Amino acid sequence: MKSTIQENETLKSEKTIKDYWQNAVNFEEYLSITAERIHQNPNKNDEHQEYYELGLQRMNRTLKTFKVDETLLSELKNRNFNGKILMISEPWCGDASATVPAVAKFFETAGNEVKIFLRDSDTSLIDQYLTNGGQAIPIVLLLNEDFTVKNVWGPRPKHGTELLKKFKQNPEIYSIDDFHNDLQVYYAKNRGKDIIEEIVNLL
C-alpha cells in the first residue's frame, strides 16, 4: 500500500499542462495577488516580502511604457498561432516584472489567452523547466490548442543573459549590484520589445 507522500508525488507526476492551466490566474488576478501580499500577506514568513511593492511598481511602469508593436503583431498573425500562453512566475521577481505585463498585454491584444502559474504554489511545474538546474523565473510556455508545449522561453532575454554571464565571469569587477542595475535599466529602455520579438520567433 502506498504512503500518503507517495500518493501525492504520483498525483504531481501525473499532472498535465491543462491541470496547471486550470490552476493558473489571469494577469489582473496576478496584480491583485501582488497587492494583497503587500498589505495582507497570508504568509507571515514570506522571505520575499520586501520585494512585492517594488515588483508592483515595476509592473506598473512596464504597463505604462509598453507599446504593442504592430509589426510583431502582424508577424504573430502570419505564424497562425492559435494557442495559449502560460507563464510560470512570482510577483517578487525582478525579471518577471518586466516580462509578465508585456507578454500579457501583447498576446491578449493578439487574441491569445494568457495565464500565470505561481511557481511556489506547486514547484512540480517549474521543476520540469529548470535553468541550469535552478528554478529561475519567469518561464513562458507556448501552448498549442491541445495544451501540448510548442516551445519555451525564459527566464530573461538574450541581452539579460549576457549581462548575467558577464557578472559570473568576473564578479569582482562587475558586481551583482552592477548586474541588477544594468538589467533594470535595460528593461526600462527596451520596454519589452526584445522579449516579445524573441517569443514570437519561437512560434
Rounded Cα–Cα distance for residues 106 and 196 (Å) = 8
Q: Can you give the pLDDT at residue 14?
A: 74
Q: Which runs of consecutive H residues, i.e. helices, occur in 111-175?
A: 158-169
- What mean pLDDT do residues 99-113 have? 97
Residue 13 — very low, low, confident or very high, per pLDDT cuts 50/70/90?
low
CATH at 107: 3.40.30.10
Nearest to 99 by CA among 174, 17, 30: 30
pLDDT (tens digit, 9 = 90+) per residue, 170-199? 999 999 999 999 999 999 999 999 999 999
What DSSP character marks residue 20? H
**How many domains, in total, are found in the chain?**
1
Flag whether pLDDT at 19 surpasses 90.
Answer: yes
Rounded Cα–Cα distance for residues 43 and 37 (Å) = 8
Q: Can you give the pLDDT at residue 88?
A: 98
Give the bridge partners for 118, in sequence order: 89
pLDDT (tens digit, 9 = 90+) per residue, 125-138? 999 999 999 999 99
pLDDT (tens digit, 9 = 90+) per residue, 62-104? 999 999 999 999 999 999 999 999 999 999 999 999 999 999 9
Domain, as residue range, for 166: 4-200
